[in-house]
Amino acid sequence: MGFHFDLANELDVKKLTRISIDAFHTDFIVAGRKTKGGPPGYDSTEFHEQMIKDSFRFYKILLDDSTIGGFWFNKESSEKAFLYRIFVDPKFHNMGVGSLVFDFLFQHFPNFKSWSLKTPIWNTRTSKFYVKLGFEITEKTDKFLFFTKRMESK
């Protein structure tokens, strides 16, 4: 079956939280973070449970039948979406999973003509990845880089 995506639910929360913790702690090792940590709620089951309820879509990333990550986004308007978070078990980093997530989003949600996201300014790994996918930096603060990708009309 390979890599695929399914909507997450309450039964997935513990596993997704554990994967989130592991994924964001790798930033300490490979992405320039000075201490272990992550974005708000990355290590909280309550937070992930709330995001499953509140986000437009929260997906788990599966390899065959095993959950290896997750992502969620919100609809900002009928044509704009904001990807809040994507995380992958470190055992599956550098295997193209992130690219598959974006392929899935762009194919399954064609009504969104613009996708946005942000990443910490210190995280050079994710910044390079988003640029490679065609995202452009639209704003820079002392803490974050904001990216947008405008989708081509077909």
pLDDT at site 71:
98
CATH topology of domain 3-150: Aminopeptidase (3.40.630)
Task: Classify 137 as helix, strand or coil.
Answer: strand
Q: How far is CA 116 from the centre of its chain?
A: 11
pLDDT at site 153:
66
Q: What is the DSSP-derived secondary structure letter of residue 151?
A: P
pLDDT at site 24:
87
Distance in angstroms (rounded) separating the CA atoms of residues 30 and 74 = 28
pTM of the model: 0.91
Q: What is the DSSP-derived secondary structure letter of residue 10?
A: G
List helix spans (H) across the chain.
13-30, 45-54, 97-108, 124-132
pLDDT at site 35:
64
Residues 106-115 pLDDT 10s: 999 999 999 9
Domain-wise residue ranges, the chain: 3-150
C-alpha dist (Å) from residue 153 to 90, 106, 113, 114, 150: 35, 12, 8, 11, 9
pLDDT at site 137:
97
pLDDT at site 33:
52
Q: Which residues of the chain have pLDDT under 70?
A: 27-37, 153-154
Q: In the numeric block, which tokens belong to residue 148?
A: 């947008």
User: 3-state secondary structure string, 68-108?
Assistant: EEEEEEEECCCCEEEEEEEEECHHHCCCCHHHHHHHHHHHH
CB 146 within 8 A of CB 139: yes
End-to-end Cα separation, the chain, in angstroms: 30
